A = this chain, B = another copy of it.
Amino acid sequence: AVPPNRRYSVTLLPGDGIGPEVISVAKDVLSLSASLEGIALQFEEMRVGGAAIDADGVPLPEETLSVAKQSDAVLLGAIGGYKWDTNVRDLKPETGLLKLRAGLGVFANLRPATVLPQLVDSSTLKREVAEGVDIMVVRELTGGIYFGNPRGFGKNDNGEDIGFNTEVYAASEIDRIAHIAFETARKRRGRLCSVDKANVLEASVLWRKRVTNVASEYPDVQLSHMYVDNAAMQLVRDPKQFDTIVTNNIFGDILSDEASMITGSIGMLPSASLGESGPGLFEPIHGSAPDIAGQDKANPLATVLSAAMLLRYGLGEENAAKRIEDAVLETLDKGFRTGDIFSAGKVLVGCRRMGEEVLKSVGSQI
């Protein structure tokens, strides 16, 4: 029998679009690799995003949040779709995701952008520029302009309509994400680049000051600062210059997506969102891809690799995580490719078949 400290509950949130397809694959891969490591996982599937709007009238039902909070880790597929794009904010799928992040308190979003040797040609960047790129973007996830108050609509002194949001950071919010970023950089190549717009924004001036302060506790990590516009350029010019990047919520949203596209294989990229305590939230960085939903065309590997991050960062089960990552690499080495990463000479497969191949590979491990 599995000892109690190797039993975990995992909340599955398939969400919208291709979410259900990729979660179904990831669930099977999770189960198998866990059982091979003597771990027992108990899954509970809940609704979020557009699926929840349609069924429950809100993008994050209370029950979903409470089940998620009581579990040991949360695996999300994707949310959103044209259908709900014109909804008011409270009824947007995205609002469900933001409430989930806030509700779980997962302030640190880790987004690796790695170019796998097998996929270097998927990048639109020249081979010599893309080869060997291995960046970790640490994005602040529960603060800044996404959540700042005041926000809303109103009138200005001329009686004109205005729309407004507040970018605000408190010292402790910056300090805690900085600590995560320095810890992350320390375990990688020891270099951290903090990105801000301190030449214009006060919120960034405080950001730079606090990050610089925290740096004194990590003498082994080399800290640099870069303005966000320059960072957007440098990612294109020479992405290999970066090891770990730390930045605020909105800049992290933009730069992590840019970095992921530089790898050329966003269908491969996982993410982990972690808090002080409580369950982490794991999700692929790609969206819900409504155009190909239900057609068995989605690449499930980003979600499968998110499941590996769930095992590693969420449950501390390194061996089971490694099993999944090895199986993904082996499956790529065998030549299997979904449409998004296909190139001549490879074997084109759908979402389900890709999952079966990964399962086969996990199963054949010793």
Instruction: Name A residues whose Cβ lies closer than 8 Å to a Cβ of B.
Output: 80, 85, 89, 92, 94, 98, 124-126, 129, 145-146, 148, 151-153, 156, 158, 160-172, 197, 199-207, 228-230, 232-238, 250-251, 253-258, 260-262, 266
Determine if A199 and B169 form an interchain contact, defined as CB atoms under 8 angstroms apart.
no
Kindly report which residue of chain B lies nearest to residue A263, judged by CB atoms. B236
Question: In the complex the two chains form, what is the Cα distance from A195 to B265 in whole Å?
Answer: 23
Residues from chain B with Cβ under 8 Å of A164 in the complex:
148, 166-169, 202-203
Determine if A257 and B238 form an interchain contact, defined as CB atoms under 8 angstroms apart.
no
Number of copies: 2
A171 interface neighbour in B161, B202, B256, Cβ under 8 Å: B161
Question: In the complex the two chains form, what is the Cα distance from A162 to B175 in whole Å?
Answer: 12
Residues from chain B with Cβ under 8 Å of A229 in the complex:
253-254, 256-257
Determine if B94 and A199 form an interchain contact, defined as CB atoms under 8 angstroms apart.
yes
Q: How far is the CB of A223 from chain B (nearest CB, A)?
A: 15
Kindly report which residue of chain B lies nearest to residue A228, judged by CB atoms. B254
A207 interface neighbour in B163, B172, B201, Cβ under 8 Å: B163
Residues from chain B with Cβ under 8 Å of A233 in the complex:
257-258, 260-261, 266
Residues from chain B with Cβ under 8 Å of A163 in the complex:
168-169, 201-207
Determine if A238 and B167 form an interchain contact, defined as CB atoms under 8 angstroms apart.
no
A168 interface neighbour in B162, B205, B255, Cβ under 8 Å: B162
Determine if A255 and B232 form an interchain contact, defined as CB atoms under 8 angstroms apart.
yes
Residue of A98, A235, A266 with most partner-chain B CB within 10 A: A235
Kindly report which residue of chain B lies nearest to residue A251, judged by CB atoms. B254
Residues from chain B with Cβ under 8 Å of A98 in the complex:
200
Residues from chain B with Cβ under 8 Å of A168 in the complex:
162-165
If A161-B206, A163-B206 are given as contacts, then 18 extra A-B residue pairs at C-beta distance below 8 Å, sorted by A number, are A89-B205, A94-B199, A98-B200, A145-B167, A146-B201, A148-B164, A151-B201, A151-B202, A158-B172, A160-B170, A161-B170, A163-B202, A163-B205, A164-B166, A164-B203, A232-B257, A233-B261, A258-B258
